[in-house]
Structure 1
Amino acid sequence: MSEARRKGRRGALLIMSLAGMTVGGIAAVGTFGGYRINTTPSFPLGLWRIEALSREVQVGDTLFICPPADAPAIKLARERLYLPAGLCDGGIAPLIKTVVALPGQTITIEGDQVAVDGERLVHSSVQARDGLGRALPTNAGGVVPLGALFVHSNYVASFDSRYFGPIPAGGVLGLAREVLTFQP
């Protein structure tokens, strides 16, 4: 092999190595610095930050929360690729969801609509099937138990508590804050 060709390969390897280290560094800062990239349409796409929660969770809080990996509906969602891979138990990415009900509040699902304590939840239609025609699990409603939260997204195809039910509050990572996002 000629000297020029060897130098060219070394240069290419150096560039690829630097690019790999840059991407790895960005990923490490994101992971350990509390930043996440949202690639799902449930909330604006882009860069988000996990902000420490120094108070009790409230209705209306938008959170990063890890779903319970062992819940049947979450297992199904992971198999069907509704949920991206990430650092939560079971290799699932934390969800970005808004809290719509706290422990003690009553969830009613009538027809295809969700109500919290008798008040209809806006943008809460429950879909019977996913985009590929597969049946979706549906939460039966009831009283949100202690230590749990009922979470929601206004996006019609969001996989949230309408389908998997109340989620353990112990999975809360913090408030979800937009850093650099956009709506497609």
Structure 2
Amino acid sequence: MKKITKGKILADSIITLAIIAMVITGILGAIYLSGGRINISKSIPLGLYRISSKPLAKGEYVIFCPPSKAVFREAKERGYISSGFCPDHYGYMMKKIVAMKDDKVSITSQGVTVNGVLLQHSRPLAFDKMGRPLPQIDLQPYILNESELLLMTDHSASSFDARYFGILGKKQVISVLQPMITWTTS
């Protein structure tokens, strides 16, 4: 009878975990290469999305690269956004388009309004979870032009979105995202 040692059990466990990790990596790589994107942030519902050729429109989710601005450099340093493949090594961000051309927007300490309607969960926080001051914007009625977007969350009071970084250009957007499998947490 063959004797099983703790070393053998440990080696077999490590091999099994390595195989599982390779399979998971392969699956995630295939999803990514086929246009799939996974969201694990509070910005939009958690889940699996796919890159789409749909045109930009209000209410659509988008994936974008942050522009090279001080507010995004600080956000990356603080861990609000990750490192990634965008210019300046920013990670992609995902948000919802809440305003486009000819929409009248305001960003104040009360929150973000679009065409006179205060958006839910849009009141800017004064400090982050670590007690560090957050950027405060005062943008009184401003009408977006053809090249501008307002990108927000619609279900998280603590998301890093337009209430902190303001209006962005359409050129930052990589694609519209189509939800495939999503869920929300409370």
In the superposition, relative to structure 1, how do residues 140 and 25 fare at CA in structure 2: closer, same or farther (>3 Å)?
Answer: same
The 1:113/1:16 distance shift into structure 2, 3 A limit, reads: closer
Partner in structure 2 of residue 134 of structure 1: 132
Q: Which deviates further from its counterpart, 136-145 or 78-87?
A: 136-145
Q: Using the alignment, how far apart are the partners of 1:118 and 1:79 within structure 2?
A: 34
Once the two structures are TM-superposed, the CA of residue 95 in structure 1 deviates from its matched residue by 1.8
Are 1:51 and 1:175, in contact at CA under 8 Å, matched by a contact in 2? yes
Q: Whole-Å Cα distance in 1 between the matches of residues 106 and 10 of structure 2? A: 64
Distance 1:138 1:110, change over 3 A: closer
Corresponding pairs, count: 180
Once residues 123 and 15 of structure 1 are traced to their aligned partners in structure 2, the CA distance between those partners, rounded to angstroms, is: 45
Task: Give 1:156's aligned residue.
Answer: 157
Q: Secondary structure of 1:149's match?
A: strand
Residues 122-181 of structure 1: per-residue CA shift (max 9 Å, x gap): 332111111222111123323435422111112100111111011221122222222223
Is 1:71 matched up with 2:72?
A: no
Distance 2:120 2:72 in 1: 24
The TM-score, its normalising length taken from structure 2, stands at 0.79
Q: How big is the shift at 1:89? A: 2.4
Measured in 2, the distance between the counterparts of 1:72 and 1:128 equals 18
> What RMSD in Å do the two structures reach over aligned CA positions?
2.8
Separation in structure 2 between the aligned mates of residue 80 and residue 13 of structure 1, nearest angstrom? 34
Superposed CA offset, 1:15-69 (max 9, x none): 455334323322322322111221112222222222222x3x222222122221x
Mark the runs of 5 or more structure 2 residues left unpaired by the alignment.
none
- Percent identical residues: 29
Counterpart in the other structure of 1:176: 177
Cα distance, 1:10 vs structure 2: 8.0
Cα pair 1:62 1:98 within 8 Å, conserved:
yes
Unaligned runs of 5+ in 1: none
Q: Deviations over 1:82-130 (max 9, x none)?
A: 1133332233332221111114433223432222233322332111111
Structure 1 residue identity aligned to 2:178? R
1:46 counterpart residue number: 47
5 Å-filtered alignment, 1:25-64, equals 25-53=26-54, 55=55, 57-64=56-63
Q: Distance in 1 between matches of 2:85 and 2:151?
A: 20
Match of 2:118 in 1: 120
- What is the match of residue 89 of structure 2? 91
Shift in CA distance, 10/99, structure 1 to aligned 2, threshold 3 Å: same
